[in-house]
């Protein structure tokens, strides 16, 4: 976590005509209403993500020429939210329409809940890059942290977006009904991504108002900078050897016990976890790296232990589908189901994995 200068006066605020990539207004009472339905169990977290994606659809059509009618499709929502197939998008839209939170058709898209039509509250200029990021995000505390800081630290006045404010993690935890520790972890991750920029302040202000921060108005997701690569063309025949990682005259692999056998020929895949993956510490380490790259966990000793303990819990409890249980726990961060027995077994697996790693190699 990186901090910069002290927050004194208003010189540390950031102003711009609009964030990079544009923005769309989401009213504060709409956010509170949607989250109230989520906490009550009336809608799921995926439904909230679909609702956010609908705002992006409206923003894409805000500059249509006069006389042209917009056309909204479920396929476009699916491209923003992700997932296999499109039935889950239809289910989410039906759930939102059932409670009057969205009206979706090919010719019309209304994203303001009917409850706040008369009193929508302050419009929050949410950057479209952040909306697209949240549409694909998982984790209730992560989304709550972003929405809470948007409410407290982003304003629109006199045609200018103003970023900068004070926000307590305890306030986000209380308003959105999530754990304060999860809010702090999510905020640290958002700082690492460059979405948040923290400032320092004297302890008296920190105790009273919370942490001063700025929401970066020029942030772009990593996917926006990804270079296009062909997945259909084959490499030239004369260069085919350069694509191989095989080394001739290899030394024989070191013998290990059955639990620690390294099967590099078949790399573990988080989309297709097997029981052997859960029993093998080295393969568990590879699954941890894949989960970290997806943003499910962080490279900390705490999350490493949690992932290894989740594997032991899945093997011990998951009779019918231990692999699915493992993926669910890691994806949702559902660590509270782990027992002391699972943590002890997880520590042993971590220790065994480290003994199998070559000297100087770290778990990444």
In this structure, the chain runs to a length of 364
pLDDT, tens only, 22-44:
999 999 999 999 999 999 999 99
Q: Rounded to whole angstroms, how far apart are CA atoms 144 and 138? A: 11
Tell me the torsion sign for CA atoms 339, 341, 342, 348.
positive
Q: Rounded to whole angstroms, how far apart are CA atoms 346 and 330? A: 14
pLDDT, tens only, 306-315:
999 999 999 9
Neighbours of 118 (CB within 10 A): 7
> What pLDDT score does 255 carry?
41
Orientation angle between helical segments 340-356 and 301-317, nearest 10 degrees: 110
**Domain positions in the chain:** 3-221, 257-356
CA 27 to chain centre: 22
Average pLDDT value for the chain: 82
> What share of the chain in percent tops pLDDT 70?
82
> What share of the chain in percent tops pLDDT 90?
47
Residue that wins the pLDDT comparison between 237 and 355: 355
pLDDT greater than 90 at residue 364: no
Mean pLDDT over 332-339 rounds to 90
């Amino acid at each position: 976590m990186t901090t910069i200068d002290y927050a004194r006066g208003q010189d540390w605020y950031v102003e711009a005509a609009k964030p990079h990539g544009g923005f769309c207004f989401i009213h504060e009472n709409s956010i509170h209403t949607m989250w109230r339905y989520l906490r009550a169990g009336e809608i799921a977290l995926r439904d909230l993500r679909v609702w956010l994606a609908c705002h992006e659809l409206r923003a894409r059509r805000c500059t249509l020429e006069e006389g042209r009618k917009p056309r909204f499709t479920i396929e476009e929502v699916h491209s923003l939210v992700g997932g296999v197939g499109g039935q889950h998008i239809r289910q989410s839209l039906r759930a939102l329409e059932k409670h009057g939170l969205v009206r979706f058709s090919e010719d019309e898209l209304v994203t303001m809940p009917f409850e706040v039509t008369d009193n929508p509250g302050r419009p929050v200029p949410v950057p479209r890059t952040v909306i697209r990021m949240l549409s694909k995000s998982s984790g209730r505390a992560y989304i709550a942290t972003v929405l809470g800081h948007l409410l407290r630290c982003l304003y629109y006045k006199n045609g200018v977006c103003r970023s900068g404010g004070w926000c307590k993690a305890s306030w986000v935890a209380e308003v959105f009904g999530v754990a304060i520790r999860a809010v702090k972890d999510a905020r640290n991750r958002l700082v690492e991504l460059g979405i948040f920029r923290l400032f320092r302040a004297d302890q008296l202000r920190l105790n009273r108002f919370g942490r001063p921060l700025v929401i970066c108005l020029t942030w772009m997701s990593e996917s926006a900078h990804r270079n296009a690569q062909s997945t259909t063309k084959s490499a030239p025949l004369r260069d085919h050897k350069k694509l191989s990682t095989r080394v001739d005259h290899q030394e024989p692999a070191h013998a290990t016990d059955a639990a620690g056998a390294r099967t590099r020929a078949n790399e573990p895949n988080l989309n297709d976890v097997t029981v052997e993956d859960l029993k093998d510490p080295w393969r568990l380490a590879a699954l941890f790296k894949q989960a970290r790259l997806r943003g499910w966990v962080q490279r900390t000793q705490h999350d490493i232990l949690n992932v290894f303990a989740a594997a032991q819990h899945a093997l011990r409890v998951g009779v019918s589908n231990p692999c699915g249980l493992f993926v669910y726990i890691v994806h949702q961060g559902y660590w509270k189901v782990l027992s002391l027995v699972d943590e002890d077994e997880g520590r042993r697996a971590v220790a065994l994995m480290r003994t199998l790693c070559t000297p100087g190699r770290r778990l990444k």
